[in-house]
Structure 1
Amino acid sequence: MAVLSRAAMVLTMMGLAATSALSQPSLISMTTDVPLPDGLSYDFHALSCSNLQNMVRDAVQGAMARDAGVVPGLLRLFFHDCFPQGCDASILLTGGNSEQNMPQNGGLRRSVLDLIEGIRATVHRACGPTVSCADITSLATKEAVMQSRLPGYDVPLGRRDSLAPATAQQVGILPGPDFNVERLVRTFADRGFDKMDLVALSGAHTVGKASCGSFRNRAGENADFVRVLQQVCARNPGHLQDLDVTTPNTFDNRYYNNLQVGRGVLNSDMALTQDGETRNWVNNFAGNQGWFFSQFSTSMRKLAHLPGGNIGEIRNNCFRRNGNGESVVLAAEIFAAFA
């Protein structure tokens, strides 16, 4: 009987331990099974440009060593390209109807745009016109994330470059700095992201800056903090405010700690504390940086998998469409040639 009692006790303790383990949040998001868009693969350029990743890595590392703004610049460029209509490098096109001229895209870093074009030139010299600006943007952003000590993630390759910019209506779905939590949740849900993704991707604000116009109407608790922001902008309307007021040049979880005490710069930042579920994710990421890093990479992977259009080209210059005298090289044709 004593043996049976001890065995029963062990089984009971194992059951309690299992229940406790299940009640603890996993450090890895469960939303990792993202469908691969048609025609794309993770090793699309393995044969046609085998040194691609090294060329991208060298360029991004060099740029980061010279400019702390490269990481936030790439993250913003990538999000603003992918969110409206998929990752198609449409945001890189210049001209009268360029997405860069739309108010949602004000403040894109010129140095980051030039970095993408510089990588394209290097890659095309080495491999020919086999890699799109869309793929280069995806790979460069992934590299910036990894160089910030976050987990790596797969990006689908073989995308074509858009033949035209996204429309004003498409760009208009980008979340704005004054969005309330209901509008943020709805905007992200329309693109297939849940509340955990919303809060994780907002963590990109742990680096980067915002213009005074972005938080002119900042409201909410912590009146002293809001007053300081207003005073700084009154003295210098051209001021660029760090979005993380604690460790602005380090990719970490202090952004969430700031939100907990009302020190988020944008209304859309503080909005994350106004919904029970999003507030829970703010608190989770504030208390566990590893969890934030893991989920940020997972949500970036989802962003990279957003489907785009099927018509496009591989641009010979990221800032303009190929001319009539230049061959439009379709990604599918290149893949077939090296299959």
Structure 2
Amino acid sequence: MALLGVLVRAVIIVVAAAAAVSGSGLPVPGFDGLAIGFYHETCPQAEDLVLAEMREIVQEDRTLAPALLRFMLHDCFVRGCDASIMLKSREKIGERDANSSYSLRGYEQIERIKAKLEDECPMTVSCADIIVMAARDAVFLSNGPRYQVETGRRDGKVSCTIDADNDLPPPGSNIVDLKIYFSVKNLGWKDLVVLSGSHTIGRAQCGSFARDRLYNYSGEGRQDPSLNTAYAPELRKACVAGDPFDKTYVDMDPGSPYTFDLSYYRDVYSNRGLFVSDQALLNDRWTRQYVERMASADSTDEYFRDYAEAMTNMGRIEVLTGDNGEIRKVCGAYVD
């Protein structure tokens, strides 16, 4: 009878997990206190409300889809996925005041989504989870996958400029540095090459790449020799020579800048990656093989599966759960 009881309980657990995956909403335990369907009881409409608001945001301004996807990277790589990027600081010492955050957009949109959730479920859904859900929906609304996300994060109380400037990989990083930045966050080479594919949507300011790529490669006063010779003149027309403050925008994926597809990998394989860090993916055996495979793929199926896994991995970086952190009513609430 004891064995039978164990078997029955095992069947119940499996059925419950399958039901959650199939859409019944029952939470499925995830990583370190996270769960798929975490808000099933406390705010069952949370994910639907985020998606509905994201639809309106992207319809109003399609450039906000890639902006909010980037927003998650900036939050998770600095002190973990805890919405510390949102915190304002009276002394201008928070992450949002860092040099690496100067072109970041999405603060108002995260607050907008938070306000909707506060109306429905006061002091329940964390800003950290909103950032992760908004990034997922930004991908989906750009014709990418809509994968399940683990939720249950809590918001961090500390935000420091120096952390943001030290923890985010610069766009001029080589492959060795990129792998180090990612490994420190418990992300591997596959996460690196898959998440780099996020550059298939969005724009970049000339000041973030032109000096390294076009005018002063490795401090040698020349163009990056690996850059496609037909692509380089197009970029030169758009970007003032070596101006680090040039805010002119250039599409990162010129062929389909607002469609989540495999064009990024085809561009990188053809030496048309915008950043040095994009081109660097060809300088490692494993990342290069992945770029080659995606560049020649007939379907996005494999990439979409890999992307969902990589985003899940990034969403687990240094999370605060349980009694750690807090739930904020306003995501940008001032640091004490």
| TM-score (normalizing by structure 1) | 0.79
Corresponding residue for residue 316 of structure 1:
329
Instruction: Answer yes or no: is 1:116 the counterpart of 2:110.
Output: yes
Paired residues, what number? Answer: 287
Q: Which moved more, 1:169-178 or 1:113-122?
A: 169-178
Which runs of no fewer than 5 residues in structure 2 stay unpaired?
1-28, 214-223
Contact 1:207 1:251 (C-alpha < 8 Å) held by counterparts: yes
Which runs of no fewer than 5 residues in structure 1 stay unpaired?
1-34, 324-339
Corresponding residue for residue 100 of structure 2:
104
Instruction: Answer yes or no: is 1:233 the counterpart of 2:239.
Output: yes
Contact 1:81 1:89 (C-alpha < 8 Å) held by counterparts: yes
Distance 2:65 2:172 in 1: 23
Distance 1:99 1:256 in 2: 31
- Letter aligned with residue 234 of structure 2: V
| TM-score (normalizing by structure 2) | 0.80
Corresponding residue for residue 84 of structure 2:
90
Corresponding residue for residue 35 of structure 2:
41
Contact 1:262 1:270 (C-alpha < 8 Å) held by counterparts: yes
Instruction: Name the CA shift for 1:321/1:47 in 2 (closer, same or farther; >3 Å).
Output: farther
Deviations 1:174-220 (A, max 9, x none): 11110011111121122122222111100010111111121122013
- Letter aligned with residue 244 of structure 1: D
Instruction: Say what the alpha-carbon RMSD is for the aligned residues.
Output: 2.0
Contact 1:206 1:250 (C-alpha < 8 Å) held by counterparts: yes
- What displacement does 1:46 show? 1.1
Instruction: Name the CA shift for 1:145/1:224 in 2 (closer, same or farther; >3 Å).
Output: closer
2:168 corresponds, among 164, 171, 174, to: 174
Instruction: Answer yes or no: is 1:306 the counterpart of 2:317.
Output: yes
- What displacement does 1:241 show? 1.0
Contact 1:316 1:322 (C-alpha < 8 Å) held by counterparts: no
- Letter aligned with residue 257 of structure 2: P
Corresponding residue for residue 220 of structure 1:
225
* Identity, % of aligned positions: 35
- Letter aligned with residue 110 of structure 2: I
Distance 1:170 1:309 in 2: 18
**Which of the two has higher C-alpha Rg?**
1
Instruction: Name the CA shift for 1:149/1:249 in 2 (closer, same or farther; >3 Å).
Output: closer
- What displacement does 1:250 show? 1.4
Corresponding residue for residue 3 of structure 2:
none
Contact 2:153 2:320 (C-alpha < 8 Å) held by counterparts: no
Distance 1:296 1:39 in 2: 22
- Letter aligned with residue 264 of structure 1: G
Contact 1:85 1:166 (C-alpha < 8 Å) held by counterparts: no
Contact 2:194 2:307 (C-alpha < 8 Å) held by counterparts: yes
- What displacement does 1:58 show? 0.6
Corresponding residue for residue 68 of structure 1:
62
Distance 2:335 2:104 in 1: 23
Distance 1:292 1:301 in 2: 14
Distance 1:151 1:227 in 2: 34
Q: Which moved more, 1:135-144 or 1:58-67?
A: 135-144
Contact 1:89 1:133 (C-alpha < 8 Å) held by counterparts: yes
- Letter aligned with residue 237 of structure 2: Q
Corresponding residue for residue 282 of structure 1:
291
Contact 1:180 1:268 (C-alpha < 8 Å) held by counterparts: yes
Q: Which moved more, 1:37-46 or 1:295-304?
A: 37-46
Distance 2:70 2:111 in 1: 16
